[in-house]
Amino acid sequence: MTAGGLSTDRTHWVRPTNPAFLVRVRALSVIVRAKMCAALNRAGFLDQIPAAVWTAPWVVHAQPAGNGTRVLDYLARYLFRVAICNSRLEHIDDERVIFRYRDNRTQEIRRATLTGVEFLRRFLQHVLPPRFTKVRYFGPWSRARRRDLDHARQLLAPTGVPSRPATSPAAPTPLPAAPPCPLCHAGTLIVIAVLRRHPLVPP
């Protein structure tokens, strides 16, 4: 989801009113409550919900997540991976499973011992239901609006090129040939950036 969007006539980019946040928490609470009510109504379960639920104020938790690097690191580790990686499993036998984890309060590495049944129960809680979408793209990031994304990039592209003194054009320096992709062996590999490996992520 982008912090802003195209105007209705698609002529300029509309930035958020307050650059400190995208949506106010109180407004987001009202939106979430209305979306839940509409979803239950479509599913035919709205009459089973007490009416007081829709008049009480809902609480939606939101807080800053640091800079973009921290957010990307979190999403990369949790969006497209399983509940626990094999490197964190330290011992498995017929009766118990021992694995390590990081305490969110102290940031210390600890170990937990569970029975095999309890470990499987907790693991299966992270398995998504059939046809459940884990990641949703909204606005220009949606696949159905790729043209809007390209148009937004053109509007947000930096304008104005610094002037240079008029000199005789020099011969362009030849660029080194891009190496082939090591996976598909069909395309070329273009390095955009090199990300440092997280210390807890196995090679």
Beta bridge partners of 112: 99
Q: Which residue has the tokens 């509940």?
A: 83
| Closest C-alpha to 1, from 177, 149, 196, 169 | 149
Tell me what pLDDT residue 35 has.
94
Token code pair at residue 163: 């002037």
Average pLDDT over every residue of 18-47: 89
Using alpha carbons only, give the angle 96, 99, 102 rounded to the nearest 5 degrees: 145
Q: Which residue has the tokens 């007490």?
A: 50
pTM greater than 0.85 = no
Q: Are 147 and 155 in contact (CB under 8 A)?
A: no
> Is residue 194 predicted with pLDDT exceeding 90?
no
5-to-90, 141, 143, 156, 202 alpha-carbon distances in Å: 47, 11, 16, 11, 38
Tell me what pLDDT residue 33 has.
95
pLDDT tens-place string over residues 74-109: 777 777 777 888 899 999 999 999 999 988 788 899
Most confident of 32-36, 102-106, 154-158, 166-170: 32-36
Tell me what pLDDT residue 163 has.
46
